[in-house]
Structure 1
Amino acid sequence: MKLALYSGTFDPITKGHIEIIKRASKMCDKLVVAVLNNSSKKTLFTLEERKEMVETVLKDIKNIEVIEYTGLLANYMKEIDCKYIIRGLRAVIDYEYELSLAYGNYDISEGEIETVFIPSSKEYLYVSSSIVRELALYNGKLDNYLDDYVIKKIKKRFEE
């Protein structure tokens, strides 16, 4: 694969996301990490804040580009001539949701977009941004789930 895309809301970016991105970056020449604005989700951080966190924690991975995007991802992929979406899978519940997205993107793109699934490592099977936000709200331990930079950002947000 020359060009692939990994997308998410990243509210906030977790170590699980980072692990999938690192593994995906080894599979392609360039990986676009798209920070999405999902109208159906109420986010803790703005799109710009989420993009900045993603850029900061991924700064050492040389073959990635972080972008922010609002709209239909298939349209953006056509714009940049990208044929592959990388998606991480944690558990069976992820598979059902991700499979429906994969079929949808394949259909919308008239067979041009393929989805590549990467299973999460065992230590990140149950890590999600929503769990992390809940832990942060109640001053739970975050270092197993978040990069130190992101921990500072989320703690500061909950102090405000």
Structure 2
Amino acid sequence: MEGWGRRVVASALAAALALTFAGCGSSARFGIDRCLPAPLEVAPSGPDAGTTVTVSSPAAECDLGYSAGHTYSVTLVAEGVPGTPGTQTPPVEVEVAADGSFSVPLAIPDDFPRGDASVVVTGSPYDECGKDGTGSCAGYTAAVRVR
């Protein structure tokens, strides 16, 4: 009977660990329902310096709670030396629809550094990431490679 009891305890611990790891990084395991915008889209994905990209996002799958006039700030940031800020474009403000969708042109200056960069959007629920102990704090970004 002692061997049977150990197997039950071991099975229960294994199940608890599996459930814990399956929920790792999820706010759902804390009973928090976090609504985040849909992923960013950047077209074209491999732009040349001196051109313009279109940054957009479709409607979110949940209610973001945005009221009329909600805006995002959109910038393009070059990958810099670790620990130092990279070159960035001036921010462009864009009005966001109540469903979270938006589209905005973003000009890339002729002298913008070639290579890896990120479109960075602020003003969304991603800015709140981590304040309540949940989420990955990845930010609302999209990777691009400027040619």
Q: Same fold (TM over 0.5)?
A: no
| Higher helix residue share | 1
Larger proportion of strand: 2
TM-score scaled to structure 2, two decimals? Answer: 0.22
> TM-score, with normalisation over the residues of structure 1?
0.21
